[in-house]
Structure 1
């Protein structure tokens, strides 16, 4: 087939095609991480699956790099590239809920905020992330850790089917009955296998939750980490949340004289009967004296978006991560050395529990490889000033190097940095060889390589 010209691409798509020099190009090329400054040759804001198919064809036939952008939150900047093609799915954000079947079908550019708003109207939800502006696509394809994971499983565990544009420009439906190998790989294997234009999720009755953040003095951090591990181990699966290090933001419920102080934190999320919420959260509140809290009943979407303001577009981002089977005393001591040095109010250390329903899924049922891990740790460096890049990146790396010996070899691919490609096999463990076979079947030329890449 002959090469497609940009004019031919414009004729084929319903969405907007921009190239350098066009009006809107500078805005269209931006991604969430301001550390990533790339200049694609063509950006297609896709309006439908046909646009995605045309964009994939254009990139393949012109032998150009192809980036697929959903929410744009990829810390390594996989949603953009230099000189190549960006299939921007942000124009595809529709969500349709079937309240009888308790399912939702969402287009590939939807965010968790989009999905939550649509499902909440019916008193339903599925496991999303922690920031509502995150795209559903990247999060789900990498696994999908969030507040509801202990009770409902990962986002990928609730995936029923996916519409996928493969490297040859075809649209296929992957589910338990068709393209089963692809469906297996999509659930934890990242964006290696195609551009997903639609996700169908299983929903559960979750409307309002009881929870929110509780801040503790920094000297209580060790007690908080030890106690959280013990409490969450036996907690009902409706209890989600995580411990953290956080600089107290200037919020009304935080005493004004404590704004800017570094503290230990627990964010709780009880998704069981609302009237049981106070008793469910009490053991966590009682770990140590609480400096400030904003805990109570709230709509699930409110909790899922509570930290959005701390993570606006345009920050510098550098992250590191590992799975953890147990928070050993040595690991806790490493956290106590590095967590208090958190550099900005935007940065955070979160330790997400991935137990309960996550552990009941057989280890080989999906490509997500760490069913035996109890926690996913992320050291999320985020700050506004590029002048601080060297110092703050060093904080992330030093923290990671201190905790890695007390963690599993691999980490959650959604938290990986751009310099983590050497960890791919560790991240997928024994699933790696099977993932390579699926990659060879669906993308033998590695068109979809701007990701935590599984080489065919």
Structure 2
């Protein structure tokens, strides 16, 4: 590991000789094992500016971390300076202007507890420890997105530390090109986002928490559910957003689950989800609870950390019966050493599809849903990367593009997969606001990393 003089860094600096270093360097996905040169916990914009300038003076690459949930670990690295924003977690509401002010290190849990205390919901993410910044800047799917739009659709302004350590504001009038890019491609590419202003939704008293389960669902039933799901979603009330999942668990075997939120009472929710309850053997519940109770119950399903490998796609057309059966078959056998494998379907449409494709950097407005393949394991020696690469080949043949918030290291032509026809425009924004490519990471927009990966050579990489 490199040695460096850390003079010039302000905030709380953690180095490898710190007794807490090995705990603090860990990110959510324990399959990622990286050893940064130092972690600087910034408490204000001066700390962030000093960190950027220090990294340049010392020729040390930097990464940006708030929740530490990048699935491929791109918010950390070996021998880099990790700028951690988790201690910049202040929130404020302007109820008269319907605005929510969020610092760059705020998590979903912190945001939900704050807005709910004032009677408001928010279109945030599902996992409580995910950083709101990374979530929204990459697009921002959540269980309110069909009703309120994606996280990035509710973003009104950002405040960023640039490559010179200076503050840059961006909104629809000021630095509008940067603001456009940061709504779908902003995570770590252009600078350090230290605060965000969001549109505040109208107050909501209660919502219906939906939970649908089919235990012991074989491949045929899983395929039938997928066909039913895609037909149901076409005309589903936009007040409901669900995540459906077919999975293979070490203890449960093959099964199906769907969870989500409906902005309305249970009796109305039942009529809306009725087609999803007709396969036989279903167990379901509809709970009329506060918004905070709903997101807390959903969040409690997430463990404090996992070891996993995953890949994502967008479903832009209907799957045929044969394709649905083949998709279900992808998880019929888990990788050796895996305790869990699943394919999840994240509902889009509604308000997401109402935004023009070129209005933000998020490209896949017309997609029906996100498809996410993952495998969970307990030992890092398990060869799950090869399993995912094999299954991904079929998924790629029946889908389009990938969701940048669910990255996959082995994507060929990753920029086009993440951003579609927005790539050229994003490169121009990158060249304008980060001309020295200071903010770099694997699969970033900077030219240095603009190379093709193939499944065959990527599976030997250790992320």
| TM-score (norm. length: structure 2) | 0.88
- The Cα of 1:442 is off from its aligned counterpart by 0.7
> Does 2:349 match 1:355?
yes
Q: How does 1:168-207 map to 2 (within 5 A)?
A: 168-189=164-185, 190-205=187-202, 206-207=204-205
CA distance in 1: counterparts of 2:441 and 2:413, whole angstroms: 15
- Pick from 302, 311, 321 the counterpart of residue 312 of structure 2: 321
Counting only pairs closer than 5 Å after superposition, residues 183-332 of structure 1 correspond to structure 2 as 183-189=179-185, 190-205=187-202, 206-216=204-214, 217-218=217-218, 219-247=220-248, 260-273=252-265, 276-285=268-277, 287-329=278-320, 330-332=322-324
2:73 aligns with: 77
In the alignment of these two chains, the number of paired residues is: 436
1:29 is aligned to 2:29: no
Partner of 1:364: 358
- The more displaced of 299-308 and 392-401 is 299-308
Alpha-carbon contact 1:270-1:280 (below 8 Å) kept: no
Match of 2:137 in 1: 141
Aligned pair partner of 2:372 in 378, 386, 392: 378
Q: Matches of 1:19 and 1:421 in 2, distance apart?
A: 35
- The residue that corresponds to 1:95 in the other structure is 91
Distance 1:240 1:328 in 2: 20
**Structure 1 residues 80-159: aligned runs within 5 Å:** 80-159=76-155
- Tell me how far apart the structure 2 counterparts of residues 303 and 394 of structure 1 sit (CA, whole Å): 37
Task: Give ranges in structure 2 of 5+ residues lacking alignment.
Answer: 448-463
Structure 1 residue 274, shift from structure 2 partner? 5.5
1:252 is matched with which residue? none
Cα offsets for 1:294-313 (capped at 9, x unmatched): 43223333443445455434
Q: Does 1:393 align with 2:390?
A: no
Unaligned runs of 5+ in 1: 250-258
The alpha carbon displacement at 1:70 in A equals 0.9
Q: Name 1:67's counterpart in structure 2.
A: 63
79 and 170 in structure 1: CA distance in 2 versus 1, 3 angstrom threshold:
same
Question: Shift of the alpha carbon at 1:158?
Answer: 0.5
From the superposition, tell whether residues 300 and 162 of structure 1 become closer, same or farther in structure 2 (CA, over 3 Å).
Answer: same
Give the structure with the larger helix fraction.
Answer: 1
RMSD: 2.2
CA contact (8 A) 1:96 1:106 kept: yes
Aligned counterparts of 2:108 and 2:334: Cα–Cα separation in 1: 27
1:313–1:162 distance in 2 versus 1, CA, 3 Å: same
State the distance in 2 between where 1:156 and 1:420 align. Answer: 24
Offset at residue 163 of structure 1 (A) = 0.9
Equivalent residues of 1:70, 1:135 under 8 A apart: yes
Q: TM-score, normalised by structure 1?
A: 0.90
